[in-house]
Amino acid sequence: MEKRSGGFATGVAEKPIRVLVVDDSAVARRLLIEICERDPALQVVGTAPDAFVAKQKVEELHPDVITLDLEMPGMSGIDFLKRLMRAHPTPVIVVSSYTQRGTAVTLEALSLGAVTCVPKPHMSSGLSLSDYSAELVDQIKAAARAKIRPEQSDRPAPATSLPGMHPLQGEVRGIIAIGASTGGTEAIAHVLGMMPGNLPPIVIVQHIPPSFSKSFAERLDRLSILHVKEAEDGDELKPDCAFVAPGNRHLLVEKRPGRAICRLSDGPKVRYHRPSADVLFDSVAEHYGKMAAACLLTGMGEDGARGMLVMRQKGAYTIAQDEETSMIWGMPGAAVRMEAATAVLPLDGIAPALCQWAVRLAGGAKK
């Protein structure tokens, strides 16, 4: 297997990343320890079988990254995470089951400030142990560099109540494409939560395990006035609707006489990802050209940067999230370095900018 570095150098002089493994299963703890200890850039400094022991270990060891099982006896992983983010904000990788409850609590953990989620080792969607190990190590290295922002109690109100963000007037035209990875679940929720009505269709690629994408789309639907769903092959792209790529399937768009639709593909991974923002952006560029907008939000790696450059070259409006507000400035940073971004904006500025673009496209911009 080709070696993956996650885009981070791990020079000999660097201190190892100190990892605390929290899981009530002794078997899972042992396997996670073995995976971490195979990489000289990681050092497991402690383990905990429950949240109470984990709390003590955090205070004693001050780990750089915590892997956290959410379903444990006594204090739940969610309660531990809430307390951790108040007292000792630390990058957390959720190691979760794929049960219905597992997906719900994992999304809650991400909203509380967890960096990302990975499946339990024995639920790794057919990945070999070496692939699973590479994925986990990459995520730990990324998490160690993440900007941790605890849960925000002041989530923006629906866009229709924000000054200057009323439903747009005029004919709805074009399409908006969004790509994100690590930290993206909350960044996407933030952007969609600020959107008004009468917007072009939105297509979204978020790197997320397969069993989480449907629940993620349902959560976005609850947080936004837009209709958000997990994309299905043949879904018609309509105004005020957003479509989330299913985990492990590429999302593309296709124009047909009088309408446009979603297409799903099981094609090969691109930059280790399926779905891939590059694949989505390429298809949007092909079918929409200058009638499209795209934004790359927080995420590890470079997926989407090349596709965004293709979109910009065809006249699309392109936005990269800025470094200050990104949990990890990998994907948007790559777009900036490639000069693929028309604008580099903080997270709060992205929805207004997309709305202004949509107004201009509809020919209804106010002077």
Concatenated DSSP letters for 243-284? EEPPTTSEEEEEEETTEEEEEEE-PPPBTTBSS-HHHHHHHH
**113: domain CATH number?**
3.40.50.2300
Catalytic residue, candidates 181, 213, 276, 326 = 181
Please report the pLDDT score of residue 5 as a whole number. 42
Looking at the structure, do residues 166 and 65 belong to the same domain, yes or no? no
Looking at the structure, do residues 235 and 126 belong to the same domain, yes or no? no
Question: CA-CA distance, 127 to 139, in Å (whole number)?
Answer: 15
Residue 175: which domain range?
159-362
Which secondary structure element, helix H or strand E, spans residue 101, and what is its range? helix 100-111
Looking at the structure, do residues 219 and 131 belong to the same domain, yes or no? no
Q: Is the peptide bond before 275 cis (omega within 30 degrees of 0)?
A: yes
Q: Is 161 a catalytic residue?
A: no
Please report the pLDDT score of residue 275 as a whole number. 98
Q: Tokens at residue 15, please? A: 């201190």
- Per the domain annotation, does 104 fall within a domain? yes
Q: Using CB atoms within 10 A of its CB, is residue 287 exposed (0-12), middle (13-18) or buried (19+)?
A: middle
Q: Is 227 a catalytic residue?
A: no
Q: Using CB atoms within 10 A of its CB, is residue 8 exposed (0-12), middle (13-18) or buried (19+)?
A: middle
Q: Is 207 a catalytic residue?
A: yes
Looking at the structure, do residues 112 and 55 belong to the same domain, yes or no? yes
**275: domain CATH number?**
3.40.50.180
- Per the domain annotation, does 151 fall within a domain? no
Please report the pLDDT score of residue 129 as a whole number. 83
- Per the domain annotation, does 310 fall within a domain? yes
Q: What's the number of domains the chain is made of?
A: 2
- Per the domain annotation, does 24 fall within a domain? yes
- Per-residue pLDDT of 276-334, as tens digits, reads 999 999 999 999 999 999 999 999 999 999 999 999 999 999 999 999 999 999 999 99
Looking at the structure, do residues 44 and 112 belong to the same domain, yes or no? yes
In the chain, the DSSP E strands lie at: 17-22, 42-48, 65-68, 92-96, 116-119, 175-180, 202-206, 227-230, 241-244, 250-256, 259-265, 292-296, 317-321, 343-345
CA pseudo-torsion sign 21, 56, 96, 298: negative
Looking at the structure, do residues 351 and 309 belong to the same domain, yes or no? yes
Please report the pLDDT score of residue 123 as a whole number. 55
Looking at the structure, do residues 124 and 180 belong to the same domain, yes or no? no
Looking at the structure, do residues 55 and 111 belong to the same domain, yes or no? yes
Please report the pLDDT score of residue 210 as a whole number. 87
Catalytic residue, candidates 207, 235, 276, 278 = 207
